[in-house]
């Protein structure tokens, strides 16, 4: 009996260690399984993060490429719209250059210069409006593209089109500052004539000899420009007379003034002046007066000269010849 009772606790004690060892083994296996699954989970998470980064990077690159694309896709460009805009601008400029000068010539003389002055302004506004209308149709307009286009244009302008762009800038300045306008009589260099047209790069002068002279706008940078009428419908004309010193100056001056006052071309609202100055060879008379219309300036000067000579001879005064002037200037 003693042996049996002593065996029972021994068996019970041996069963408890086996169950606790089993539990410990199960816990170790669970921990090892979870530990083994951690690298797989971290690798999956890392792959997902890399995929998100690559997707975001590719999206950013596509957005950047889309933003930096200067020209729209060809299928998005309406070429008929572009042709219509260019044709409309050309037609408006053509009609302006043809109809307004014709209207100015046939209209009242008081409004002639105002109508002619509107030609370059309308042309400039038309070209500017057409360009601004075409830019969003052809180009992908945004801030980045604007910087790119501005940088490229500045380089091209600086190296390839310096002289031409200088002429364009001078033309724009001439349109707004108006040192000359269509209808003005100006002296540029050795040329004196009427400004027939003002383009973007040059102006066209029609001289008294009926020559057409093309003058670039860049002349305003380094030359003086004499404008005889500056938008007015009349200008001062000067007739010169060279008379020997032995004469009655008051009588000659009065006679020349009467000649100017009785001219059919005279503008009566303007003053008539007879100026004189003594020279070594005689007296130089200048008759200064204004014609009614500046287009009659040469006929007016011719009328003053022809009738003035007759009036001076009727007084008994004699004109200076080249031989007399040369002889009188010698010591």
Give which of 72, 193, 94 is closest to 141, Cα–Cα: 72
What is the per-residue pLDDT for 11?
Answer: 47
CB 218, CB 173: distance < 8 Å: no
CB 191, CB 207: distance < 8 Å: yes
| Pair type for strands 212-216 and 237-243 | unpaired
Which pTM was predicted?
A: 0.56
pLDDT tens, 113-156? 788 888 888 888 999 899 888 877 877 767 676 777 777 777 76
DSSP class of residue 320 equals P
Quick one: tokens of 230? Answer: 């500056």
- In this structure, the number of other CB atoms found within 10 A of the CB of residue 50 comes to 10
Per-residue pLDDT of the chain (331 residues), as tens digits, is: 444 444 444 444 444 445 555 656 666 566 555 555 555 555 666 666 566 556 655 544 554 555 446 666 667 778 888 899 999 999 999 998 888 888 888 877 778 878 888 888 888 899 989 988 887 787 776 767 677 777 777 776 677 677 777 888 888 888 888 889 888 999 998 899 999 988 888 899 999 888 999 999 888 888 889 999 988 888 999 999 999 988 999 999 999 999 999 999 999 999 999 999 999 889 999 999 999 988 899 999 999 999 999 999 999 999 987 665 555 555 4
Place of tokens 């027939």: 196
CB 283, CB 276: distance < 8 Å: yes
First CA to last CA across the chain, in angstroms?
179
What is the per-residue pLDDT for 27?
Answer: 60
Q: Could you please report the per-residue DSSP string of 242-294?
A: EE-SSS-HHHHHHHHHHHHHT-TTB-TTS--EEEEEEETTEEEEEEEE-BSSG
CB 206, CB 212: distance < 8 Å: yes
Tally of CA atoms within 13 A in the half-sphere of 46 that contains its CB: 6
CB 215, CB 198: distance < 8 Å: no
CA 116 to chain centre: 19
Quick one: tokens of 64? Answer: 């950047």
pLDDT tens, 39-83? 555 566 666 656 655 665 554 455 455 544 666 666 777 888 889
Give which of 137, 148, 134 is closest to 67, Cα–Cα: 148
What is the signed CA dihedral for 100, 106, 109, 114, rounded to 10 degrees?
A: -10
Ramachandran quadrant class, 199 (left: phi over 0; alpha: psi -120 to 50; beta: rest): beta
What is the per-residue pLDDT for 12?
Answer: 46
């Amino acid at each position: 009996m003693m042996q049996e009772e002593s065996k029972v606790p021994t068996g019970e004690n041996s069963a408890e260690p086996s169950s606790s060892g089993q539990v410990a083994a199960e816990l170790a296996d669970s921990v090892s399984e979870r530990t083994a699954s951690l690298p797989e989970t971290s690798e999956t998470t890392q792959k997902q993060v890399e995929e998100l980064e690559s997707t975001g990077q590719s999206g950013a690159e596509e957005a950047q490429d889309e933003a930096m694309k200067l020209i729209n896709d060809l299928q998005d460009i309406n070429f008929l719209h572009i042709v219509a805009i260019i044709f409309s601008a050309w037609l408006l400029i053509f009609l302006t250059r043809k109809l307004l000068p014709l209207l100015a010539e046939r209209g009242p003389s008081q409004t002639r210069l105002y109508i002619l002055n509107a030609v370059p302004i309308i042309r400039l506004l038309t070209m500017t409006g057409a360009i601004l209308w075409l830019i969003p149709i052809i180009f992908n307009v945004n801030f980045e593209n604007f910087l790119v286009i501005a940088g490229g244009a500045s380089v091209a302008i600086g190296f390839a089109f310096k002289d031409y762009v200088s002429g364009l800038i001078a033309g724009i300045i001439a349109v707004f500052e108006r040192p000359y306008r269509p209808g003005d009589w100006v002296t540029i260099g050795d040329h004196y004539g009427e400004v027939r047209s003002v383009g973007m790069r040059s102006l066209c002068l029609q001289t008294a000899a009926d020559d057409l002279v093309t003058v670039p706008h860049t002349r305003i940078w380094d030359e003086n420009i004499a404008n005889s009428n500056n938008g007015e419908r009349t200008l001062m004309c000067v007739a010169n007379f060279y008379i020997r010193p032995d004469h009655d100056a008051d009588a000659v001056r009065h006679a020349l003034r009467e000649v100017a006052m009785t001219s059919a071309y005279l503008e009566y609202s303007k003053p008539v002046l007879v100026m004189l100055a003594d020279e070594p060879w005689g007296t130089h008379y200048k008759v200064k007066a204004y014609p009614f219309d500046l287009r009659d300036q040469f006929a007016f000067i011719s009328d003053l000269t022809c009738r003035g000579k007759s009036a001076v001879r009727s007084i008994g005064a004699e004109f200076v010849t080249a031989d007399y002037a040369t002889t009188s200037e010698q010591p």
